[in-house]
Structure 1
Amino acid sequence: MPKISAATVAEHRAAQRTALLTAAEHLLEEAGLAGVTPRSVAERAGLARSSFYEYFGSRDDILTAVAIAAFDNWGAEIDEILSAVPQEERLVAYVGATMRMTADGKHAIAATLQQAELSPSRHEDIMAMHAAFLGPIATLLREAGVPDADTHAVLVQGLLNAGVQLVTHGVDPAAATASITTLLEKGLPSRTSI
């Protein structure tokens, strides 16, 4: 029987899978998509290459798993932030948290993975996770009394995506938050007379 490094086989397997995911995430950050191969991930995790295939069928599978873990972590952090904010301030808090987390580099993995040429089914898995972020936005809009919250959630997500791009390219997260918040609360600023 192979030697395990945990109290139970299930714990051992969970630890090895986590080690592979962590290795893939670090390789993505350091070397981009080209740096993530079954061999490089297994070596970085300190495991045999064959161990990779015990947990992931392909490079696409581990990239998808990294994306899902990143989405889960992002969502958990947003939920924690919103839980400490009064209901009427949650939409602005959501925008601010998204911009700060982007500035902190937490969106970098998602940006890198958007460039991956994944199989259609794996690409759909990642897109479904991304679409899941519309739910909390729609909920926040409903709580704020916004009519047709689902449609408006898509529009708010568009503003957030634009804000992420701005912050990624060097715009101060507080400035991006202020601009998005102004658009959400007041619409476009008035034009001055010429």
Structure 2
Amino acid sequence: MPRISAPTVAEHRAAQMRVLLDAARSLLAETGRPPTFAALAERAGLARPSLYQYFRSADDLLLAMVEDVFPRWSATVARAMDAAPDDRGRVVAYLRANLELVAQGEHALATALATVSPPNAVMEGSRAMHDELVRPLSDALQALGTRDVARSAELINAVVNSASRMIESGTPLDDVWSSVEELVEPFLDRLVHERGDAHGFR
């Protein structure tokens, strides 16, 4: 792997950390097991002792992976929602972005990480990701006039979870997405229609 050059020591360290985390993610995805320091050093093109400059132990490496995987998922979904033209589109973008990540293998990676990481770290990471994901979804549902925002968000996440299992079982994303649209779009259309009526638009 080519040597990283950066203007400052801090930037070099951040870039090297990114290389190490990406290598650790790929090893976990390939094996389903925590990456050893030996395997990680080989994949990243570093001497094994160099890893201790970044991770004090195997558990420290796993904690860093948890802190990396879950926020990246949330950030990807948030970007998709921010690009949507309206609140209805934000809900659709939430669904689509989550399922695209599943189709790309990110959910399997997060699940594998959950099985090998310290339980408290996974619990805290999962809770933080859930809160980050649900907040913009809830905001969009509230803006659409949903009567029970928390319950509607929970039901939408149930659709995401069921659709995720289908994708991971081998059903193509496009086929699953067609079913998700058929299920969710009437609900969103009704909210948009009712909001329009409430504002005097016919």
TM range, smaller chain: 0.7 to 0.9
> Are the equivalent residues in 1 in contact too, given 2:90–2:137 (CA < 8 A)?
no
Unaligned runs of 5+ in 1: 188-194
Separation in structure 2 between the aligned mates of residue 148 and residue 56 of structure 1, nearest angstrom: 45
The alignment-based identity, stated in percent, is: 36
- Note the alpha carbon deviations across 1:140-160, whole angstroms, 9 max, x for none: 211221123123222221221
2:64 maps to what in 1?
65
Worse overlay, 18-27 or 121-130 = 121-130
- Equivalent residue runs for 1:39-118 within 5 Å: 39-87=38-86, 88-116=88-116, 118=117
Match of 2:149 in 1: 149
Q: How far 1:61 sits from its partner (Å)?
A: 2.9
**1:57, distance to aligned residue in structure 2 (A):** 2.9
- Helix, strand or coil at the partner of 1:142: helix
Q: Aligned equivalents of 1:11 and 1:93: distance in 2? A: 33
Q: TM-score, normalised by structure 2?
A: 0.76
The equivalent of 1:191 in structure 2 is none
**CA-atom RMSD, angstroms?**
2.4
AA aligned opposite 1:13:
R
Q: Distance in 2 between matches of 1:119 and 1:78?
A: 25
Map 1:19-58; keep pairs closer than 5 Å. 19-34=19-34, 36-58=35-57
Question: What residue number does 2:138 align with?
Answer: 138
| Higher normalized helix content (fraction of residues) | 2
Unaligned runs of 5+ in 2: 188-202
User: TM-score if structure 1 supplies the norm length?
Assistant: 0.79
Question: Contact 1:23/1:44 (CA < 8 Å) preserved in 2?
Answer: yes
Q: Secondary structure of the residue that 1:183 maps to in structure 2?
A: helix
Q: Distance in 1 between matches of 2:60 and 2:153?
A: 30
Instruction: Return closer, same or farther for 1:151/1:26 CA change in 2, 3 Å cut-off.
Output: same
What letter is aligned with 1:146?
A: T
| Runs of 4+ off more than 4 Å | none
| CA deviation after TM superposition for structure 1 residue 162, in Å | 1.3
Report the count of equivalent residues: 182
